[in-house]
């Protein structure tokens, strides 16, 4: 019994490269997975019949519409799309939010132009705090 160890040369023991895909291991794995899922699927189903009681919890409501304050470069203020003034900002926010929500728990989103003066921005922040709006988020443009 002999074997040719060198790969050079042709002859009787030369092996050509096989470029076909062997799918036998793939089929074996798929059949094993199929058997596992066939066995496990009936165990995952609940077969015990239970009559559930009625729920007494109130259905959840949709989250409230966010409140946006926009500050233009010229210093003009808007609540949503409605123009407002710095002196009436707190009252206008309460009208916009309505009586059903607590202003101290309401989140206010501030959008300001990058050319807004710092004093104008701080005036809005101070007016919000004076009127009980403490949860403030600042909106910026994402560079991604």
Percent of the chain with pLDDT over 70: 73
* Region 54-80 average pLDDT: 80
pLDDT in tens, 93-110: 888 887 656 666 788 888
Q: Please say whether the dihedral angle defined by the alpha carbons of residues 103, 95, 121 and 143, taken in this order, is positive or negative.
A: positive
Percent of the chain with pLDDT over 90: 21
Give the number of other CB atoms < 10 A from CB of residue 67.
Answer: 18
pLDDT in tens, 108-143: 888 888 888 999 999 999 999 988 888 888 888 776
* Region 76-103 average pLDDT: 84
* Contact predicate 84/78, CB 8 Å: yes
- Residue 59 — pLDDT band, cuts 50, 70, 90? low
pTM check: above 0.75: no
Kindly report which listed range (13-17, 22-26, 89-93, 135-139) carries the lowest average pLDDT score: 13-17
Cβ contacts of 89-94, under 8 Å, gap ≥ 24: 89/124, 89/127, 89/128, 89/131, 90/127, 90/128, 90/130, 90/131, 90/132, 90/133, 91/131, 93/67, 93/69, 93/128, 93/131, 93/133, 94/131
Residue 23 has pLDDT above 90, yes or no: no
């Amino acid at each position: 019994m002999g074997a040719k160890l060198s790969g050079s040369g042709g002859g009787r023991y030369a092996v050509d490269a096989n470029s076909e895909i062997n799918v036998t291991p793939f089929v074996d794995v798929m059949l094993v997975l199929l058997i596992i899922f066939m066995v496990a699927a009936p165990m995952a189903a609940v077969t015990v019949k239970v009559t559930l009681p009625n729920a007494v919890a109130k259905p959840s409501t949709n989250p409230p519409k966010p409140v946006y304050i926009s500050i233009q470069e010229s210093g003009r203020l808007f609540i949503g799309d409605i123009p407002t003034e710095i002196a009436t900002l707190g009252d206008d926010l309460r009208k916009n939010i309505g009586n059903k929500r607590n202003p101290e728990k309401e989140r206010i989103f501030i959008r300001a132009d990058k050319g807004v003066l710092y004093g104008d921005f701080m005036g809005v922040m101070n007016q919000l705090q004076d009127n009980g709006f403490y949860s403030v988020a600042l909106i910026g443009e994402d560079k991604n």
